């Protein structure tokens, strides 16, 4: 599966532009602010029906206009499929495949999958546990619909239980039996989620470690530790033990919504001891492992979107990374970089062809 052609109309800083892509490696170069990342985001939009950066659709519309249109021609097993997307300030967004509108966006998501590696991903390291759970959940739900259902039900039950705890605090009345009934959906769904997360990580971690080793040259051992209250106790026990704490906090203080992934480098927390380059390598290895998981399930390669990937990495790591992505059957790849010369050098050294796009004032240039 690959993207053959894209056209943008009023998307972010593009008024009108069209690009024909190579099936292999495509590179966007240009100065800061010319729209390299926006172009990657347009591809992401066609893949996931949303921007990687702005969750609000109208923020992607070019200043001064009231709608945008994206159109992409994908080729899937030699069959061409045209995806059309438009969003405007007042109306809902429209997604069409071969001129036929989808009744639900979820029908589209997953048909043309992609994986983004962007400088923003370091928030996985620096932000709270919610970002890491979100990463884990989004990867697992991509291939396991039951997991997604469990997650939705768990969160609903959690919301209800928390609302009840708040009601107790406000009214000064406490009714144990009406609190306990919410433990049942939490336990039923929470146990499943915990098991699935554990099973998934058992497969995911070795793949992640393999990639980290390739990028870093095997210098440092890395690990992802799954931290969960359920590692020691059943959710039933945890909920029973924390009733008093829950009442004081007016929310549920134990359960799989408190799980976390601990990133470790040489046995120490990555957040505190990892250099910027090491942290970046760590994230890249995680994303590549995610790529491999999707590839395994879909039986074809997702599109790989690499935003400013060379920043902060040393020469050796850049070379081994590019070697990896270009020889390891990664399918179609899009790379952004400010320096055209640097890109040419890297790819000359590893003898890989690439299609270079100079993004500048004239947006149609190829």
Partner 1 sequence: MELPSKHITEAVEQLATLPGIGRKTALRLALHLLKQNKDEVERFAGSFINMRNKIQFCRSCHNISDNEICSICNNPKRNKKFICVVEDMRDVIAIENTRQFFGIYHVLGGIISPVDGIGPSDLNIDSLVEKVQKGEVNEIVLALSTTMEGDTTNYYLFKRLKEFNISISTIARGVAVGDDLEYTDELTLGKSILNRIPYENSFVKS
Binding part of the chain for partner 1, among 51-59, 181-189, 265-273, 297-305 by CB under 8 A, reads 181-189
**Nearest CB to partner 1, comparing residues 175 and 240:** 175
- Residues in contact with partner 1, shown as a per-residue x/- string from 132 to 171 under the rule CB under 8 A: -------------xx--x---x--xx-xxx-xx--x----
Tell me how many degrees the CA angle 89-32-320 measures, rounded to the nearest 5.
Answer: 110
3-state secondary structure of 87: strand
Q: Which residues make Cβ contacts (< 8 Å) with residue 311, sequence separation at least 6?
A: 119, 280
Q: How far is the CB of 164 from partner 1 (least distance, A)?
A: 4
**Nearest CB to partner 1, comparing residues 99 and 173:** 173
- Residues in contact with partner 1, shown as a per-residue x/- string from 182 to 201 under the rule CB under 8 A: x-xx----------------
Q: Which of 32, 90, 103, 177 binds partner 1 (CB under 8 A)?
A: 177
Q: How far is the CB of 297 from partner 1 (least distance, A)?
A: 15
Query: Edge-to-edge strand order for the sheet containing 260-265?
Result: 222-227, 260-265, 268-269
Q: Are strands 2-11 and 14-20 parallel, antiparallel or unpaired?
A: antiparallel
**Long-range own/partner contacts, residues 127-131 (CB < 8 A, 24 or more apart):** 129/258, 129/259, 129/260, 129/261
**Nearest CB to partner 1, comparing residues 110 and 185:** 185
Q: Are strands 303-306 and 2-11 parallel, antiparallel or unpaired?
A: unpaired
Q: Is 106 in the site for partner 1 (CB under 8 A)?
A: no
Count of alpha carbons within 13 angstroms of residue 293, beta-carbon side: 24
Q: Which of 66, 175, 311, 314 binds partner 1 (CB under 8 A)?
A: 175
* Cα separation, 354 vs 344, whole angstroms: 9
- Best CA proximity match to 145, nearest among 110, 190, 97, 96: 110
* Cα separation, 315 vs 184, whole angstroms: 54
Q: How far is the CB of 156 from partner 1 (least distance, A)?
A: 5
Q: How far is the CB of 255 from partner 1 (least distance, A)?
A: 15
**Nearest CB to partner 1, comparing residues 154 and 330:** 154
**Nearest CB to partner 1, comparing residues 67 and 102:** 102
**Nearest CB to partner 1, comparing residues 163 and 297:** 163
Distances (CA, A) of 311 to 33, 125, 155, 204, 271: 16, 17, 38, 26, 19
**Nearest CB to partner 1, comparing residues 104 and 341:** 104
**Nearest CB to partner 1, comparing residues 183 and 290:** 183
Q: Which of 65, 76, 178, 237 binds partner 1 (CB under 8 A)?
A: 178
Helical ranges in 242-351 per DSSP H: 243-249, 270-273, 276-298, 315-327, 340-349
Q: Is 181 in the site for partner 1 (CB under 8 A)?
A: yes
Number of residues that bind partner 1 (CB under 8 A): 19
Binding site for partner 1 (CB under 8 A): 145-146, 149, 153, 156-157, 159-161, 163-164, 167, 175, 177-178, 181-182, 184-185
């Amino acid at each position: 599966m690959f993207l053959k052609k894209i056209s943008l109309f009023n998307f972010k800083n593009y008024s009108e532009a069209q690009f024909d892509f190579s099936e292999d490696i495509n590179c966007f170069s240009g100065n800061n602010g010319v729209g390299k990342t926006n172009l990657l985001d347009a591809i992401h939009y066609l893949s996931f029906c949303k921007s990687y950066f702005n969750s609000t659709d109208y923020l992607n519309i070019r200043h001064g206009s009231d709608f945008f249109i994206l159109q992409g021609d994908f080729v899937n097993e030699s069959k061409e499929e045209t995806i059309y997307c438009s969003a405007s300030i007042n109306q809902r967004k429209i997604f069409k495949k071969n001129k036929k509108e989808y009744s639900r966006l979820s029908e589209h998501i997953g048909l043309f999958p992609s994986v983004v590696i962007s400088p923003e991903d370091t928030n996985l390291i620096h932000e709270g546990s919610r970002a890491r759970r979100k990463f884990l959940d989004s990867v697992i739900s991509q291939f396991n619909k039951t997991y997604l259902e469990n997650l939705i039900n768990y969160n609903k039950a959690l919301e209800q239980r928390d609302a009840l705890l708040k009601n107790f605090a406000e009214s000064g009345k406490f009714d144990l039996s009406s609190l306990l009934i919410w433990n049942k959906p939490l336990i039923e769904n929470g146990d499943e989620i915990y098991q699935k997360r554990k099973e998934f990580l058992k497969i995911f971690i070795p793949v992640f470690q393999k990639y980290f080793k390739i990028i870093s040259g095997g210098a440092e051992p890395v690990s992802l530790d799954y931290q969960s209250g359920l590692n020691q106790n059943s959710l039933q026990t945890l909920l029973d033990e924390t009733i008093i704490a829950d009442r004081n906090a007016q929310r549920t203080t134990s359960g799989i919504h408190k799980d976390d992934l601990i990133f470790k480098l040489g046995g120490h927390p990555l957040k505190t001891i990892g250099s910027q380059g090491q942290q970046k390598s760590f994230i890249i290895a995680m994303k590549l492992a995610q790529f491999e998981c999707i590839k395994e399930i879909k039986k074809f390669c997702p599109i790989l979107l690499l935003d400013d990937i060379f920043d902060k990495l040393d020469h050796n790591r850049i070379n081994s990374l590019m070697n990896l992505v270009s020889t390891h059957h990664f399918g179609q790849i899009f790379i952004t970089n400010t320096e055209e010369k640097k890109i040419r050098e890297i790819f000359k050294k590893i003898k890989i062809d690439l299609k270079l796009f100079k993004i500048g004032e004239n947006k149609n240039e190829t």
